[in-house]
Amino acid sequence: MKNANFPMDAEGHTYHVGLKRGEVCNRILTVGDPERAKRLAELLDEGAPRFVRETNRGFLTITGRYHGVPVSIIAIGMGMAMMDFMLREVRAVVDGPMCVVRIGTCGSIADAEVGDIIVPEASAAVVRNFDAFADLSHAGSTAAVPSDEDCYTLSSLFEGDAEVTAALRKSLGSRVGAEHVVSGVNVTADTFYAAQGRVDPCFVDRNTGHIERIQQRYPNAVSLEMENFALFHLARCAAPLPTGQSSIRAGAAMIAVFQRKKNESLSKADLAVLETKAGSAVLDVLASSLTDEEALLHDASTS
C-alpha cells in the first residue's frame, strides 16, 4: 500500500472497495444486500464483458452493460460509513460526472404501505447523542437529566438531484404503478434499533416519542433507513469537476419492508419481486442519466 492519506495498492486498487480505474463506471446502482446485487446483475446484457470483485471488507462490484450502456452494481452492506467508503473510493478512480442511485429497503413511518417504493427528494440524518448517555446514574436520581429530546440529533435536509428523482418516480411508476411510488423526506439513522425508535428492553435508549419528534420537525418524513443521507450529503459535498459540472448526481428508491405504524412486514418473496422491478426502472434511468459526451468519456475509461 502506498499513501496513508488515500491508500491504494501498487496497481491502483482502492483500499476497501478494491477497485482500480476501468473496473467501475460512472453510472452506479448501489444496494445494501449482495444477494440483491446478484439478482439485479441478471438484468445486465448477457454476453457483454462483465467484471466482478468481492472484497474482504464486504463490498461486491459487478460492472457490465445494460442495453449496451456501461453500469456498475455495487453492494456496500449497511450504514453511512459503507456509503462513504464506496463513494470516495469510486470517485477516486472514475472520470467525469457520476450518477449514483441507491435501491434500498426502509421502514415506512407515515402512510406508505409495505411494498410501496419511496423516492425521497431529501434526507436528514438522525444520530445518537452519545454524551447524553454518559451518566447513566441519572436513572432514578434527581440530578438534572438530559431530556429524551437531547438524546438524538436530527440534521438539516440534503436534497437528491431533482432531475434524477423525477426520472426515478416516472420510471418506477411505469413498473409498479404510480400509486405505489411515494414522495417525501427520508431520515437516515446511524442504527437500525435505537435511532429508528425501536424499543429494546436490554438497553437504555431514551427514544420514547422519537419518530413523533422527527415528524414534528419534518412533517413529510416518510421513511427510516441507514445510508441515503450519506449519499445525498456527499453528492452535495463533492468538489465540482474541472469542467464546472457537478461531480455526483444522486437519487434513491427504497422499498418499504416494514410499516411501523401498523407493525406489518413484507415477505422475502415479495421483496425479491419488487427488487427486480425497481432494478429495471432504476437501470433505465441510469442508462439515460448522462449525456452522450459523458458516456463517451466513460467508455474511453473502461475500454
Residues that bind ligand URA (CB under 6 A): 105-107, 192, 196, 224-226, 257-258
Instruction: Work out what residue 275 binds among ligand URA, ligand R1P, none; the CB cut-off runs from 5 to 8 Å by kind.
Output: none
Shortest distance (Å) from residue 34 CB to ligand URA: 16
Give every CB contact of residue 10 below 8 A, 6+ residues apart in sequence: 2
Residue nearest to ligand R1P (CB): 32
DSSP 235-277: HHHSPPPTTS--SEEEEEEEEEEEETTTTEE--HHHHHHHHHH
Instruction: Work out what residue 196 binds among ligand R1P, ligand URA, none; the CB cut-off runs from 5 to 8 Å by kind.
Output: ligand URA
Instruction: Work out what residue 107 binds among ligand URA, ligand R1P, none; the CB cut-off runs from 5 to 8 Å by kind.
Output: ligand URA
Q: In angstroms, rounded to a whole number, what is the distance separating the alpha carbons of residues 194 and 198?
A: 5
CA 224 to chain centre: 11
Instruction: Work out what residue 172 binds among ligand URA, ligand R1P, none; the CB cut-off runs from 5 to 8 Å by kind.
Output: none
Shortest distance (Å) from residue 188 CB to ligand URA: 8
Q: Which residues bind ligand R1P (CB under 6 A)?
A: 31-33, 78, 104-105, 192, 225-227
Instruction: Work out what residue 34 binds among ligand URA, ligand R1P, none; the CB cut-off runs from 5 to 8 Å by kind.
Output: none
Instruction: HSE, CB side, 13 Å, CA atoms: give it for residue 7.
Output: 8
Q: In angstroms, rounded to a whole number, what is the distance separating the alpha carbons of residues 118 and 95?
A: 30
Q: In angstroms, rounded to a whole number, what is the distance separating the alpha carbons of residues 215 and 260?
A: 13
* Nearer residue to ligand R1P within complex by CB, 271 or 290: 271
Instruction: Work out what residue 282 binds among ligand R1P, ligand URA, none; the CB cut-off runs from 5 to 8 Å by kind.
Output: none
Residue nearest to ligand URA (CB): 107
* Nearer residue to ligand R1P within complex by CB, 105 or 247: 105
Shortest distance (Å) from residue 220 CB to ligand R1P: 19
Shortest distance (Å) from residue 108 CB to ligand URA: 8
- Closest of 109, 114, 289, 78 to residue 184, by C-alpha: 109
Task: Work out whether the CA dihedral 108, 112, 116, 122 comes out positive or negative.
Answer: negative
Q: Which stretch of DSSP H or E encloses residue 99?
A: strand 98-108
